[in-house]
Amino acid sequence: MTFKERIIISSDSKWKSLFDIFIIILVGYSCATNMYYVSFGNPTSQVTITLDFIFEVFFYIDFFLNFFQGFKHEDTYEHITDMKEIAKKYLFGWLIIDAVSIFPFKYVLSLFNADSDNA
């Protein structure tokens, strides 16, 4: 088995399907907690902050794994495992949405707030 065959995740992979379900649950959690944080302020509990950070790491892992997720061709249902084809499909599909959703806005904005506080 070649290195490429080892790192490509099959489109029929059960563990990846379960991981995707877990990510969907985390998206729901993230939506609910972010609405709560906007309404009532950021969490102060270290447990909540740590839990949110751990869940955020799972979103980064999912972003990374999508570059190795094989897929079935829309017309022929052939399993596509070519890295370039996978990257191209992801680039013109969910990449922008995923990248925006995991971008660390609160850290970048806090840098700007720190600069304006010093001025």
pLDDT digits (tens, 9 = 90+) for 34-46: 999 999 998 999 9
> In this predicted structure, what is the pLDDT of residue 88?
95
Residue 63 belongs to what domain range?
Answer: 3-118
Rg of the chain, C-alpha, whole Å = 18
Distance of alpha carbon 17 from alpha carbon 22, whole angstroms: 9
pTM: 0.83
Distance of alpha carbon 4 from alpha carbon 45, whole angstroms: 43
> In this predicted structure, what is the pLDDT of residue 37?
93
How many domains would you assign to the chain?
Answer: 1
